[in-house]
Amino acid sequence: MECKLFVARLMSPIGQITIESCMRGVHKVDLQEPKNFSPDSRYEVELVDGSAEELVNKCEPLGKCVDWIKDYFKDASSVRGLSKPPLHITKYKEGSFTAAVLHNLATKVDVGETVSYGQLATMTGNARASRAVGGAMRANQTPLLVPCHRVVNSDGSVGNFMSGKGNVLKEWLLQHEVKER
């Protein structure tokens, strides 16, 4: 059975974020490639389309995701321990390496922490699969919720985010989380 998707667009300090969700959970969180990104952006998060508020109230997972993202940008530490909205991602085969990597990242790497590709591979049970972890990060459909921005190179450098086009966003997100600790 195909899901009926509800969509909300938010304006955030890192630009527009589009969320797609069905009644079972969030399918996608889409971050836009930064164009005129300013690291001094304000912290308030607002729905772009006022009528989206009705959808947010109608679709509980979408509403939870909007609230979680608002809380995250207001004070990143406030989402530590807060339950995330349910995810409904059918793209990854249950039990696959990608699904395991994303699950470990979402549940074991907290706000303000980072993990290297190699460390995440080890956490997933295959210490030699750091390149495969990179592939899992590229396949992540729900950034922020599954915090791929917290995965860095073994030397501590940020690596690539959004195929390298979002590195400035990754650096901002990491600083936002540390600043809020």
Tell me which residues are annotated as active site. Answer: 148
How far is it, in rounded angstroms, from Cα 73 to Cα 113? 16
Q: How far is CA 74 from CA 104, 126, 146, in A?
A: 25, 36, 18
In the sheet that holds 15-22, the strands lie side by side as 25-31, 15-22, 6-12, 46-47
Q: Tell which residue, 101, 180, 181, 97, has the closest CA to residue 148.
A: 101
Q: How many H-runs (helices) and E-runs (strands) does the chain carry?
A: 6, 6
Q: What are the structure tokens assigned to 61, written together?
A: 């997972």
Sign of CA dihedral 135, 137, 138, 142: positive
Q: Tell which residue, 4, 105, 15, 6, has the closest CA to residue 65.
A: 6
